[in-house]
Amino acid sequence: MRERERAAEARRPQRGERSSFSLSALPPRPLRLCGFSFSLSLALLWSSGARANPLDAFGFGSRQTAMGGAVAADVSDFSAGYYNPAGLAKAQGFELSVGYFRADHFLYMNGKNSNVDPVKGMVGGAVVPGKVYNLPFAIGVGFHIPDDRLTRVRALAQDEPRWELYDNRNQRLWFGVNAAISPFPWLQLGGGVTFMAATLATLDISGYLDLLTPTDSSLRHEVNADLKMVAYPDFGARIEVSKDLALAVVYRGQFSLDLNVAANVLAGVGLGRSGSLTTLALGLQTDTIDSFLPQQVVVGGSWKLGETVHANLDLTWVNWGAYVPPVTRINTQLNVPPPQGGWPAGIAPPTTPAPTVVLPIEIHNQVVPHVGVEWRALSRRTWQGFVRGGYEFDKSPISAQTGSTNYVDRDRHAVSAGLGVRLIHPATVLPGDVRLDVHGQLSVLPTETTLKADASDLVGDYTAGGHIWNLGFTATVGF
């Protein structure tokens, strides 16, 4: 069985301090776990599944990741650009954040590690609050920059087994710019765009092709390549229903990385320097769609359960039904007239091969529940300590691969935890605070066996499952 896997994906992180709803502003209040438990139960009744990009899969910022990505109504730092742009309007001061995370996959097929590449890189951003016509206004910039590359488009043959939602989809940059305004103290509205790039290229090659010693061919090329900007929108709203309850709704647009390359070869063909036997006209068009990000709608809430505890719940609807798998569509045209006198001995007449038919993927929309809790465990005059936990359940949106395609996926249970410390006015030059947060997240993908409908399938039945570790930190300086 061929193997080659990688992957990663599905979740979200957080952080969210300065919001009026954050723990530093929470007044004393008795715990109200009943409401929280009800919400959690309700959420788990829903099916789920969402690993749409590196931030969906592994979170954006350590606080957010530790809280299971359930922060749509409880975020006001750089990560608000991803979780809910409206939260930016709750920022109390200028903030700069920087962090790092690394997610390592231990995903197996038939007991063999699929060697899915790790997802690792910097995260960070800035929030700049201010006022326009006396209304709170803020802009935010957020980024995740992978260590190894900005983006990667990788398409494999559809029958080649790969962890479809983890293999390559998380190997990409995230860069978002957002703005928010608070027209009323109880309402924040925000929106922005996230930028990516698609590639269109035409490659023309001409000259003389030496079939005997190809590297002696006298060829040259010209290129017309464009990196096209792809911007997808996101917007959100946050409503403070009471001092203890905030609700949020967020929309994230659909996106994909397209790579369309057309290669055209027009050359004389011969053996050595004896001159052309015939001509070759080859047209090769490859169209690849990768890193498809389905549109999402998030409904979230944040409940204050006491002076030092609050709990959050987000439900994310993911339009997986629109998913396009990263399999290259190829179209070839090969025209090589037979030489006068026929083909020399040892060279078989070339023919134009038929393109592989790309089979549709069966994939379904899902709702993903995220829950998170934050507890301000310690509070001193000059510093505070936080403990956080979270959970997310991603039910696989991909149907069992019983046919000839092998888009491998499994349900994912992601349990996360984190610690945070906030230093209050730590130095004269830092009139705000300094925060350091760390997180750990374990994703478990239960091992299951996929049985092929056709006993003669080249890949055959397979057992797949594993786990993913995600560790990281985020440091923030607030002013």
Minimal distance, residue 429 CB to other proteins, in Å: 4
* Residue 49 phi, psi (nearest 5): 150, 115
Q: What whole-number distance in Å separates Cα of residue 243 and Cα of residue 467?
A: 39
Site for other proteins in 148-187 (CB under 8 A): 149-157, 173, 177
Q: What whole-number distance in Å separates Cα of residue 252 and Cα of residue 323?
A: 15
Minimal distance, residue 53 CB to other proteins, in Å: 15
Site for other proteins in 283-322 (CB under 8 A): 284, 286, 288
Looking at residue 248, its amino acid is A
Q: What whole-number distance in Å separates Cα of residue 175 and Cα of residue 145?
A: 8
Cβ partners under 8 Å of residue 123, min gap 6: 60, 61, 79, 97, 98, 99, 100, 101, 142, 143, 144, 472, 474
Residue in this structure with the two tokens 């606080």, named with its chain if needed: 63
Looking at residue 266, its amino acid is L
Kindly state whether residue 424 participates in binding other proteins, applying the rule CB under 8 A. Answer: no
Kindly state whether residue 429 participates in binding other proteins, applying the rule CB under 8 A. Answer: yes
Name which position in 344, 431, 446, 460 contacts other proteins (CB under 8 A).
431
Is there a contact between 79 and 144 (Cβ–Cβ < 8 Å)? no
Site for other proteins in 459-478 (CB under 8 A): none
Minimal distance, residue 369 CB to other proteins, in Å: 34
Closer of 185 and 353 to other proteins (Cβ): 353
Looking at residue 1, its amino acid is M
* Residue 35 phi, psi (nearest 5): -60, -40
Name which position in 25, 219, 241, 378 contacts other proteins (CB under 8 A).
219
Minimal distance, residue 123 CB to other proteins, in Å: 15
Minimal distance, residue 446 CB to other proteins, in Å: 30
Site for other proteins in 86-125 (CB under 8 A): 93-94, 96
Minimal distance, residue 101 CB to other proteins, in Å: 18
Closer of 98 and 239 to other proteins (Cβ): 98
Closer of 141 and 245 to other proteins (Cβ): 141
Give the pairing of strands 309-318 and 296-304. Answer: antiparallel
- Residue 226 CA, chain-centre distance (Å), reads 24
Closer of 196 and 248 to other proteins (Cβ): 196
Closer of 14 and 178 to other proteins (Cβ): 178
Minimal distance, residue 466 CB to other proteins, in Å: 23
Minimal distance, residue 332 CB to other proteins, in Å: 6
Name which position in 34, 185, 215, 340 contacts other proteins (CB under 8 A).
215
Site for other proteins in 334-373 (CB under 8 A): 334, 336, 347-357
For residue 373 the two structure tokens come to 């809790």
For residue 261 the two structure tokens come to 């390359």
The torsion defined by the Cα of 174, 179, 182 and 188, in degrees rounded to 10, comes to: -30
Contact window for other proteins (CB under 8 A) among 115-123, 219-227, 298-306, 436-444 = 219-227
Binding mask 119-148 for other proteins (x = CB under 8 A): -------x-x-xxx----x-x-x---x---
Q: How many residues bind other proteins (CB under 8 A)?
A: 93
Name which position in 37, 115, 213, 382 contacts other proteins (CB under 8 A).
213
DSSP-derived letter for residue 455 is: T
Minimal distance, residue 79 CB to other proteins, in Å: 18
Residue in this structure with the two tokens 């092709």, named with its chain if needed: 209
Alpha carbon separation from 194 to 42, 141, 428 (Å, rounded): 32, 10, 36
Q: Return left, alpha or beta for 17; rule: phi > 0 is left, psi -120 to 50 is alpha, else beta.
A: alpha
Site for other proteins in 235-274 (CB under 8 A): 259, 261, 263, 265, 267-270, 273
Three-point CA angle 88, 92, 93, nearest 5°: 95
Name which position in 216, 448, 454, 461 contacts other proteins (CB under 8 A).
216
Longest C-alpha distance within the chain, in Å?
95
Q: What whole-number distance in Å separates Cα of residue 354 and Cα of residue 450?
A: 30
Cβ partners under 8 Å of residue 354, min gap 6: none
3-state secondary structure (DSSP) of residue 365: coil
Name which position in 199, 254, 295, 404 contacts other proteins (CB under 8 A).
199
Binding mask 377-396 for other proteins (x = CB under 8 A): --------------------
Alpha carbon separation from 50 to 442, 445, 472 (Å, rounded): 16, 13, 21
Q: What whole-number distance in Å separates Cα of residue 73 and Cα of residue 146?
A: 27
Closer of 46 and 343 to other proteins (Cβ): 343
Closer of 125 and 372 to other proteins (Cβ): 125
Contact window for other proteins (CB under 8 A) among 10-18, 37-45, 278-286, 300-308 = 278-286
Minimal distance, residue 21 CB to other proteins, in Å: 23
Contact window for other proteins (CB under 8 A) among 9-17, 323-331, 379-387, 390-398 = 323-331
Q: Return left, alpha or beta for 97; rule: phi > 0 is left, psi -120 to 50 is alpha, else beta.
A: beta
Closer of 47 and 199 to other proteins (Cβ): 199
Closer of 28 and 341 to other proteins (Cβ): 341
